[in-house]
Amino acid sequence: MRRALEEGRKGLGLTAPNPAVGCVIVNSRGHVIGKGYHAKAGGDHAEIAALKTVTDSADLKGSTVYVTLEPCAAEGKTPSCAHTLAALPIQRVVFGCQDPNPAMAGGQKVLVDAGIQCDQWGPLKRECLELAEVFICNQSAKRSFVHVKVGASLDGQIALKSGESQWITSESSREQVQVLRGQSDAVLVGRGTFEQDNPRLNSRSDQFINKTNIAVIIDPKGGVISQLSESRLLEVRPSEKVFVIVHEGFLGESENCKILRCPEVQGQLDLKVAMQALLAEGVHSVLVEGGGTTISQFFNQGLVDRLTVFMAPKIIGAAGGQSWTKGLSIDGLENAICLPEMKMTQLGSNFCLSSGMFTDTWLKGD
């Protein structure tokens, strides 16, 4: 299953609206005879991709198929994987997590009815859910998946008071951010970050050289719209891939972007409505890059599904810096936001901390 997860991660950011899925096939002697992953929507699902790598079909007799997501039961743009597997002389199918899409779920029953042993394997369930977390969020919450990315000093500052922020984190961290951008459909910032940095918000990772992601700006009054024609956003993408989220009372129009109008909730734009609107536009995942006010609003509205923090061994100080939680406040330790199962990796002198908050919620409700 770990090897199936490795395969599935190759499709991250490339499969929307479908999930990233990996598959490994092991023959009766315990040897890997096939492996594959879902590479793009409309293309082969992971099980079919893995079957195509099997050089001797006789090896399938008595084999075991490991797949990170329950094989689909219904036919969509591609044939049903469960029915395809059911017609083969395989002995067992092991899947990591169930398919949350009611239109495609039920693959386990199809296989069992065909006399094939089929069961869910628990030890790597969290990892399999994380691989499909964007898809699961889209299906269950009916909105875009929200991934908050932070690059900060050891004491939580993302910039100086002047706005200077280049570079707090290391080159290795910044390279990984480019991968995260590519793995997301859109990159989102608030008005302040747009005006301070004039960013491109595209991925410069070689893994996503053929992908153009969407840029999203939150600006209730819509003032940034008049600045778009001179911005770097339009240097790397067409205007239809730029979205500006404004208050529902905004009356302006623009040829340089798509305008999404949202109501207020407790004096702030209702970001849940905004994420629902983005999903309706085909944006399945959003990487939120700042600034502190925007990040805090997503936390305040309970919309953070994954948090990734790149932390540099530097101390800036609260008096001279800008905190990434500057708009977030709690009135007691019992109300602190507790992060589940945070994973840490080292990137040169920096540390990367990541927590799948949506996955934890899904596990508790499963």
Q: Residue 17 is part of a domain; what is its CATH number? A: 3.40.140.10
Q: How is residue 219 written in tokens?
A: 């600006």
Question: What is the C-alpha separation between 40 and 15, in angstroms, rounded?
Answer: 4
Residue 137 lies in a domain: no
Say if residue 324 is preceded by a cis peptide, omega within 30 of 0: no
- Residue 69: pLDDT band (50, 70, 90) is very high
**Looking at residue 276, which CATH number applies to its domain?**
3.40.430.10
Question: What is the pLDDT, as a whole number, of residue 96?
Answer: 94
Specify whether the CB–CB gap between 33 and 26 falls below 8 A. Answer: yes
- Residue 129: pLDDT band (50, 70, 90) is very high
Position 199, amino acid: P
Mean pLDDT across the stretch 3-10?
97
Are 120 and 231 members of one domain? no
Strands (E), 15-173: 22-26, 32-37, 64-69, 92-97, 117-120, 145-153, 157-160
Residue 307 lies in a domain: yes
Question: What is the pLDDT, as a whole number, of residue 55?
Answer: 94
Question: What is the C-alpha separation between 36 and 24, in angstroms, rounded?
Answer: 7
Specify whether the CB–CB gap between 313 and 170 falls below 8 A. Answer: no
Residue 136 lies in a domain: no
Are 83 and 212 members of one domain? no
Specify whether the CB–CB gap between 131 and 5 falls below 8 A. Answer: yes
Higher pLDDT, 228 or 329: 228
Are 46 and 161 members of one domain? no
Are 126 and 153 members of one domain? no
Are 209 and 294 members of one domain? yes
Residue 24 lies in a domain: yes
- Residue 81: pLDDT band (50, 70, 90) is very high
Q: Which long-range contacts link 330-334 to residues 24+ away (Cβ below 8 Å)?
A: none
**pLDDT tens string 283-294:** 999 999 988 999
Are 215 and 106 members of one domain? no
Question: What is the C-alpha separation between 67 and 161, in angstroms, rounded?
Answer: 49
Domain coverage including residue 46: 2-131
Is 7 an active-site residue? no
Number of domains comprising the chain:
2
The count of other CB atoms within 10 Å of the CB of residue 10 is 14
Are 11 and 113 members of one domain? yes
Are 108 and 192 members of one domain? no
Question: What is the C-alpha separation between 138 and 140, in angstroms, rounded?
Answer: 6
Is the entire prediction scored with pTM above 0.75? yes
Are 225 and 182 members of one domain? yes
Per the residue annotation, which of 6, 7, 47, 264 is the catalytic one? Answer: 47
Are 202 and 338 members of one domain? yes
Are 121 and 210 members of one domain? no
Are 233 and 153 members of one domain? yes
Q: Which long-range contacts link 338-345 to residues 24+ away (Cβ below 8 Å)?
A: 339/307, 341/126
- Rg, the chain, Cα only: 22
The count of other CB atoms within 10 Å of the CB of residue 143 is 23
Strand partners, 265: 268
Q: Is the predicted pLDDT of residue 108 greater than 70, yes or no?
A: yes
Residue 108 lies in a domain: yes
